[in-house]
Amino acid sequence: MSERDAARIAAAKAYVDALVSHDASAVSLHPDCTRVEFGVKTGRNGPHIARSLARGPQFRLIHRISDFEAEVDGHSVSTRYYVHVAPKFLGLAAKVSETFVVDEGDQIRAIVARFGVPRRVKG
């Protein structure tokens, strides 16, 4: 893996990690970054996305990420992982596929997300 690919994956992983930590300080979002979920814009710019990561109720249910995988194709980083959601004792997780467009400065310019319905998982 090239250093450039590793840096792009690191940018995407920082976002995914912030889903759990609710701390967007390590996420390099371009000011004009947008987030689209199932075709609907859910993040209008970088600061809005960062605030959502920090305080958004939709992310407060997430308590763990597992099985993170990433592939790079040019400026696009395609990720797949599971988000484990509250309440923990139910053992629910949803499969997530997100594509991040990362620019030459390693800033995230766009995020496109798709996810499944939470289901019981082992471990």
The string of pLDDT tens digits covering residues 94-121 is 999 999 999 999 999 999 999 998 899 8
- Given phi > 0 = left and psi -120 to 50 = alpha, else beta, which region is 57? alpha
pLDDT band at residue 28, thresholds of 50, 70 and 90? very high
- CATH number of the structural domain 3-120: 3.10.450.50
Element (H, E) at 7: helix 3-21
pLDDT at 58: 86
Question: Is pTM beyond 0.85 here?
Answer: yes
Query: What residues have CB less than 8 Å from 76, skipping those under 6 apart?
Result: 99, 100, 101, 102
Q: Where are the domains of the chain?
A: 3-120
Q: Span 13-33, mean pLDDT?
A: 97
